[in-house]
Amino acid sequence: MNTPLSPIEQLRLDLSDLDWVTDPSRIQRLSQDFSWFSPVLTRQLEGKVADAVVRPRTEEHIRRVVSACARLKVPLTIRGSGTGNYGQTTPLAGGVVLDMTGYNQLLWVRPGVARAQAGIRLHEIEKAAQPLGQELRCMPSTFRSATLGGLFGGGFGGVGSINYGPLAARGNVVGLKAMSIETEPQVVELRGAEALHMHHLWGTNGLVLELEIALAPAQPWLETLSVFDDFDAALAFADALARAPGLAKREVAFLASPVPDHLTQLAEHLPKGCHAVLSLVAEAGEEELNALVAAHGGRVSYRRTAEEVAKSHRTLMEFTWNHTTLHALRVDKNLTYLQTTFTPGEYVRQITELSRRYEGEVLMHAEFLRNLEGQLNCSALQLVRFTTEERLQQIIDEHRAYGVRINNPHTFIVEDGKAGGELPAASLAMKARFDPLSLLNPGKLRGWPAPEAVR
């Protein structure tokens, strides 16, 4: 008697013409992201792996996979390039990982806006937009490998957020096309605020096919490192630069000692024990930038024009945001990190007080940005010397009690990672609408527990 096929075997048989990953080691790799930044997630997600990985290249491929998974009740986890940090792409109940990186066409670029398939890498959009005098408004430090859909599903902000805020700020995402997870999948266009109900939910409440995003006027950016002996002077300079309305800028990051000591690729430009400010300022503003540095007792130790950056293919942007954490972990594997949002108008005091309170244990790295209301603020990605999970939670609790917002990067539950806790009703309604069988990345939302594995 023939043994009945498992759902996964049936799926691969029914869709045998698609691009399936069959090597177990590659399936394991494609079931992971950068959650190893967190020792907590490393422990919790150990052994979680997909049963199969498929790489669609057309909307019809995606429709067939979705339809078959719905019919066979197979969990489906959407993946871009896996540059997220929270286990977003790690399946808790096996099933299929839908690798979207082959679905990667740039559809069009127009004045102020571009549209592309979800699997396109962000640097491809930037490369296409720049000859037209435009660039991305918001770009993570992982822009070379990160996908557009991955940024939308799991990202927050990045380089450019000092001008345009995080991705969720009104006007940054113009619209999207999404597919429901049903035996007869429905394709729907969502515009404006409605589209944002799928944002930063790790692909738990909708499968995004295309995104339409706003662009910014391009500038030739001067990349600099400014170094200081004094913490207060360095922070005051970073704040003054971020506030200066006449200085066009794309990035301002404050790196308190000893964070710069961990950026070994830049060691010749970062004296041991210094405090540093990394910035991208329009080349036309270099004279004023230098005057501001000197007024705060610092000096520019690294300077590259936009032309020099383009020729070298090296950019300081890859030392900002969570790339700072990545570089530091290569030097000291006992580090992890926090995600902190300070209070507009109070962030200088808060950064100073918290840096002194946790000196030697929580190392300050702050990124300047506009918040959803347009106010200048700081979001920190502090490095933490990890000892125990209990001490890490105590640090998180103490920061919250102090009055700053912590988005916990050490949990794979969407709600638990958000300082506000519960999700908006509209996001939950989107889940019911686009994932009626609860097959999308199951186990990541508290109200939709992971089903049993389907092997």
Residue 52: CA atoms inside 13 Å, Cβ hemisphere, count?
25
pLDDT reported for residue 195: 97
C-beta of residue 42 within 8 angstroms of C-beta of residue 35? yes
Tens-binned pLDDT, residue by residue, of the chain (455 aa): 567 899 999 999 999 999 999 999 999 999 999 999 999 999 999 999 999 999 999 999 999 999 999 999 999 999 999 999 999 999 999 999 999 999 999 999 999 999 999 999 999 999 999 999 999 999 999 999 999 999 999 999 999 999 999 999 999 999 999 999 999 999 999 999 999 999 999 999 999 999 999 999 999 999 999 999 999 999 999 999 999 999 999 999 999 999 999 999 999 999 999 999 999 999 999 999 999 999 999 999 999 999 999 999 999 999 999 999 999 999 999 999 999 999 999 999 999 999 999 999 999 999 999 999 999 999 999 999 999 999 999 999 999 999 999 999 999 999 988 766 788 999 999 999 999 999 999 999 987 755 555 44
Is it true that the peptide bond before 258 is cis, omega within 30 degrees of 0? yes
Residue 136's φ and ψ, nearest 5 degrees, are -65, 140
Distances in Å between the Cα of 43 and the Cα atoms of 46, 275, 404 are 6, 34, 27
pLDDT reported for residue 2: 65
C-beta of residue 94 within 8 angstroms of C-beta of residue 331? no
C-beta of residue 240 within 8 angstroms of C-beta of residue 292? yes
> How far apart (Å, rounded) are the C-alpha atoms in residues 250 and 320?
12
What string of DSSP letters covers 310-345? HHHT--GGGGSHHHHHHHHHHH-TTEEE--EE--TT
Output the pTM of the full model: 0.95
